[in-house]
Amino acid sequence: MNRFPIWKYLVIAVVLIVSTIYTLPNFFGETPAVQISSTRQSATVDTALMARVETVLQQQGIKPAGLFLDGNSLKVRFNDPDTQIKARDIIQQALGDTYIIALNLLAASPEWLSKLHANPMFLGLDLRGGVHFLLEVDMQAAVDKTMERYAGDIRRELKTAKIRYGAIKRTGNTALEVQLRDQETLNAAADKLARSLPSLTFSSDDQLFRLSLALKPEEITRIQSDAVSQNITTLHNRVNELGVAEPVIQQAGPSRIVVQLPGVQDTAKAKDILGRTATLQVRMVEDDPSRVAEAMAGNVPTGYELLDEASSQGIQKILLKKDVELTGDNINSAQPGFDQNGGASVDIGLDSTGAEIFRSLTAENIGKRMAMVLVEKNKSEVVTAPVIRSEIGGGRVQISGSMNPAEANDVALLLRAGSLAAPMNIIEERTIGPSLGKENIEKGFSATLWGFAAIAVFMVLYYRVFGLISVASLGVNLFMLIALLSMLQATLTLPGIAAIALTLGMAIDANVLINERIREELRNGVPPQSAIQAGYAHAWATILDSNVTTLIAGIALLVFGSGPVRGFAVVHCLGILTSMFSAVLVSRGIVNLWYGRRRRLTAVSIGQVWKPETK
């Protein structure tokens, strides 16, 4: 009666083999490696690069433990961290800025395992150290910025069409108003703008000759989703500059972005580069002495703004027009360099729109000064305010001024990384030092180990052979859970380890239920084989009910939890599923193998079965 058909044993065997294979990579540890990847089309990662890296390393007397191409990146393994860091510097020098070179840890498991996509569990930041940010995009600012750009577009369109206009005013959150001179110019302007700016709705006031323009609702949603995706791209670029091996940059909700940088040691620099929300604006300087004097006296004329300019003589005040001529949106590239006098400079390349605007701006304003303004967190600072010597066409611009090479490098980095569509605020941050991560792993591991050991000892003492079987199935449960986590590459965090430990503690419940039931049947005088049968049959309904209720709680945690709660819930839910399998099917399988074949089974080893003397 206690026999399984062959297929059930086969299922168990297959599950065991698969679990073992996918658990294995976790035992091999990790080796230090350098990861080389590229973000540009021109710089490819291929076998030629692999050969180049190998030669460069050999020239310096470093022998890598292995090189291999993995998708778009080249990974080079080393035997120890010292060589890894030395090699990183050498490769960086040889390849230059075209490639992203990052330190990484790779699984040290044999190749045949990697071919099966058997990788170690993916550790969360709290276990490997690193930085986690939750950023919120300022949507109002994104709308504001778009409105500013439209105002600039309108001004330019009307100017090129030689239509005279008065003030351009912002009349609402998403509406603009242009004052025109008469009916004729009003019609001409409406006609012209409707053709070139199709994303706006138009209405004209024929009495006051005013043209009202408003954003279409679908345009507003588009601006917001664009703002998030553009910021994600920008963050990608900035993170690439940091050289992080496996960054996570994801949208979380309509206006939020999660950034995770595992293994980042210099957290201050990471925060600095990510936290900056710099945008570049090109604006004209007002050098008329009377206006400047008036502004200095504290009476800044309307349409003007007094800003700080950092120079080698210290901070100076400079008077700027409020109109923004050009923004960082039109910047294609920015590189640090040197000007003809040997001073540090930033070389900027503009896109075609930007180049055109810049050409006409410089042509109209020869001899005047223009300012490059870096806007960071609502604070504007003039980076430099050079005099325009001649018309600059072709979109190549060089800024030089009060900069040292490091500053030039920083400014270039920010400009190159692209500007943000809207500023972002860090609303959540977690930084875990690498040593703390290691400690967390050790502590979580020892907690699980001690818990498991204590249960195992008790079960074997109390239930003898059946206890041993229970412990074996609990071990299988642990294997299956780790294998499943490795397979899914679900992120394992410290609460996740806690969930593994807790799952073990709770999974034993099913075995205790079964064993107690069998004892009870034996106590009532049922023969052993039937007792086993009845024990499992009776316990099953209870096990199912209790696991479903636990699963309900687990799923609610998964849906509503965030951060640590979700990390716990994922493992908890998976653990409940694996425990049902192992406690019922695997333990029964072993019992059937052990006892099922014996025809005349008179006793089973399930510890003492005490019977009350008086019945």
Partner 1 sequence: MEFFRIKRDIPFMSYGKLTTAISLVTFILAVFFLFSKGLNLSVEFTGGTVMEVQYQQPANLADIRHRVETLKVGEVQVQSLGTSRDVLIRLPSKEGTSSAKLSEQVMGLLKAGDAGVQLRKVEFVGPSVGEELVSHGLTAILLVCLGIVIYLALRFEWRLAVSAIIANMHDVVIIIGCFALFQWEFSLTVLAGVLAVLGYSVNESVVVFDRIRENFRKPGMRGRSTAEVIDNAITSTISRTMITHGSTETVVLAMLLFGGPALHGFAMALTIGIVFGIYSSVLVASPLALALGVKREHMIKIVKPKEEAVV
Interface residue with partner 1, options 275, 301, 386, 475 (CB under 8 A): 275
Q: How many whole angstroms separate alpha carbon 178 and alpha carbon 213? A: 8
**Judged by CB under 8 A, does residue 255 bind partner 1?**
no
Residue 530 Rama label (left phi>0; alpha psi -120 to 50; beta): alpha
**Judged by CB under 8 A, does residue 235 bind partner 1?**
no
**Judged by CB under 8 A, does residue 329 bind partner 1?**
no
Span interacting with partner 1, options 35-43, 75-83, 172-180, 554-562, rule CB under 8 A: 554-562
Interface residue with partner 1, options 454, 527, 530, 598 (CB under 8 A): 454
Which one, of 238, 309, 306, 225, lies nearest residue 269 by Cα? 238
CB neighbour list of residue 16: distance below 8 Å, 6 or more residues apart: 476, 479
Question: Least distance to partner 1 from the beta carbon of 576, Å?
Answer: 9
Q: How many whole angstroms separate alpha carbon 558 and alpha carbon 572? A: 9
Encoded one letter per residue, x for contact with partner 1 by CB under 8 A and - for no contact, window 365-394 reads: ------------x-----------------
Helix count and strand count (H, E) for the chain: 17, 23
Interface residue with partner 1, options 49, 501, 518, 584 (CB under 8 A): 501
- Tokens 């205790």 found at: 512
Encoded one letter per residue, x for contact with partner 1 by CB under 8 A and - for no contact, window 110-129 reads: ----------------x---
Residue 278 Rama label (left phi>0; alpha psi -120 to 50; beta): beta
Question: Least distance to partner 1 from the beta carbon of 509, Å?
Answer: 4
Q: What angle do CA 539, 540, 546 make, to 5 degrees?
A: 90
Region 126-145 residues binding partner 1, contact defined as CB under 8 A: 126, 134, 136
Beta strands 210-215; 304-311: pairing state: unpaired
Span interacting with partner 1, options 27-35, 193-201, 515-523, 597-605, rule CB under 8 A: 515-523
**Judged by CB under 8 A, does residue 553 bind partner 1?**
yes
126 with 244: CB under 8 angstroms? Answer: no
Span interacting with partner 1, options 11-19, 42-50, 75-83, 423-431, rule CB under 8 A: 423-431
Which one, of 333, 331, 324, 302, lies nearest residue 380 by Cα? 324
**Judged by CB under 8 A, does residue 70 bind partner 1?**
no
Comparison of 200 and 432: residue with beta carbon closer to partner 1: 432
**Judged by CB under 8 A, does residue 268 bind partner 1?**
yes
Comparison of 255 and 327: residue with beta carbon closer to partner 1: 255
Q: Residues binding partner 1: what is the number (CB under 8 A)?
A: 82
Question: Least distance to partner 1 from the beta carbon of 521, Å?
Answer: 12
Q: Count other C-beta atoms under 10 Å from residue 555's C-beta.
A: 14
Question: Least distance to partner 1 from the beta carbon of 614, Å?
Answer: 7
Comparison of 577 and 593: residue with beta carbon closer to partner 1: 577
**Judged by CB under 8 A, does residue 540 bind partner 1?**
no
Region 426-445 residues binding partner 1, contact defined as CB under 8 A: 426-433, 435-436, 439-440, 443-444
On the 0-12 / 13-18 / 19+ scale of CB atoms within 10 A, 254 is: exposed
Question: Least distance to partner 1 from the beta carbon of 56, Å?
Answer: 35
Interface residue with partner 1, options 6, 297, 541, 603 (CB under 8 A): 541
Q: How many whole angstroms separate alpha carbon 127 and alpha carbon 112? A: 27
Which one, of 72, 83, 32, 31, lies nearest residue 49 by Cα? 72
**Judged by CB under 8 A, does residue 210 bind partner 1?**
no
Q: How far is CA 52 from the centre of its chain?
A: 31
**Judged by CB under 8 A, does residue 608 bind partner 1?**
yes
